Amino acid sequence: MMRGSLAFALLLSGVTGFAPSSVGTKSSRVTSLSASRQDDGDSRREFFSRSVGIAAAGLGVPFLPLESANAVSGVSKVNAKLKGFGLPVVSEVQNGFSPLLEVYGKGRNRFPILVQFNYPLTWVVTVPSNDQNGEDGTVQAGEYAKGDTATFFVYDEPGSVSDVNSQSKSFFEKAIIKAISQKGDNMYQSFKVIKTEPTERDGQQYTLVDFKYELLTGAGFTVDRRGVASVTSQGKAVEVLWTATISQRYKKMEDTLRYIAGSFRCYTDGLNLSDELYVGYGELS
């Protein structure tokens, strides 16, 4: 009963830690199933989209609940795209997961980044929306009613960082705090980086960061959260994929969160993404 009450309270609290975030008035587009399951999943996609629409409405998150996202998913489709860009393909995906590939920054107010990570097939995916005013929202996946999320964030302030793996603990603290506090610094407290692990994949540096914090809800109580982030620097910014859940679920979800963070890749330099950009990309004044 307490778990159900907590989940319901979170849906009504207006906290971005549990629902698709949107910085502005435009709505993120939503898809609920990977491409590999779309042939038999139309009714389920509508059900999931409606369900997330209800949850997001309780959180005050504007979005179009029935519009499918254009993110590419499913191993064969993702690998075909990656091969077209001359990038390493996805070699192995755990059972129950699907790779996701999406261009963040299709609008002129951002620079384009090809984002890739694996996510559970039961999670709902949202991608940014675009119109003549630019792009809004981000690439996310999650089971939001339970507090399980994976969210892409671009940290512009430091610019390009040539050696992410050698950065100090305070660097990663700043990057992840920026990622979790997009609605303001009064949404969290007691943030702590637990450990960092430098890694290198396909010639790129990614630092895995274990962290925890207390989420301050609009209902006036705090929720302990734990997560794993992957931090890199491609192009002219620092990119973060942060995954998290409530502390009570962390033991159950740790392997999943760590797997998602470990699968994160992003690419910018040397890619021709012009065909992926919003049709009005060059019209923003």
CATH of the domain at 79: 3.40.1000.10
Q: List the one residue out of 43, 50, 53, 59 whose CA is nearest residue 8.
A: 59
Question: How many structural domains is the chain composed of?
Answer: 1
Q: From CA 252, how far away is CA 148, in angstroms rounded?
A: 11
Residues 6+ apart with CB under 8 A from 30: 20, 49, 52, 53, 63, 64, 65, 66, 67, 68, 69, 124, 125, 126
Crossing angle of the two packed helices 2-11 and 42-59, in degrees rounded to 10: 80
Which segments in the chain show pLDDT lower than 70?
Answer: 1-70, 184-185, 280-285
Q: From CA 260, how far away is CA 222, in angstroms rounded?
A: 26
Range of the domain at 237: 2-271
> Does residue 189 form part of some domain?
yes
Q: From CA 130, how far away is CA 149, in angstroms rounded?
A: 23
> Does residue 94 form part of some domain?
yes
Q: From CA 5, how far away is CA 182, in angstroms rounded?
A: 26
Q: From CA 222, how far away is CA 253, in angstroms rounded?
A: 20
> Does residue 254 form part of some domain?
yes
Q: From CA 20, how far away is CA 25, in angstroms rounded?
A: 13
> Does residue 277 form part of some domain?
no
> Does residue 226 form part of some domain?
yes
Q: From CA 163, how far away is CA 146, in angstroms rounded?
A: 36
Q: Which pLDDT score, from 0 to 100, does residue 30 have?
A: 56
> Does residue 276 form part of some domain?
no
- 85-98 burial code (b ≥16 CB/10 A, e <16): eebbebeebeeebb
> Does residue 152 form part of some domain?
yes
Q: Which pLDDT score, from 0 to 100, does residue 280 have?
A: 64
Q: Which pLDDT score, from 0 to 100, does residue 273 have?
A: 87
> Does residue 279 form part of some domain?
no
Structure-block tokens of residue 162: 């040539």
Owner of token pair 């507090």: 147
Indicate the pairing of strand 28-31 with strand 63-64. parallel
Q: Which pLDDT score, from 0 to 100, does residue 182 have?
A: 81
pLDDT tens digit string along 147-175?
999 999 999 999 999 999 999 999 999 99
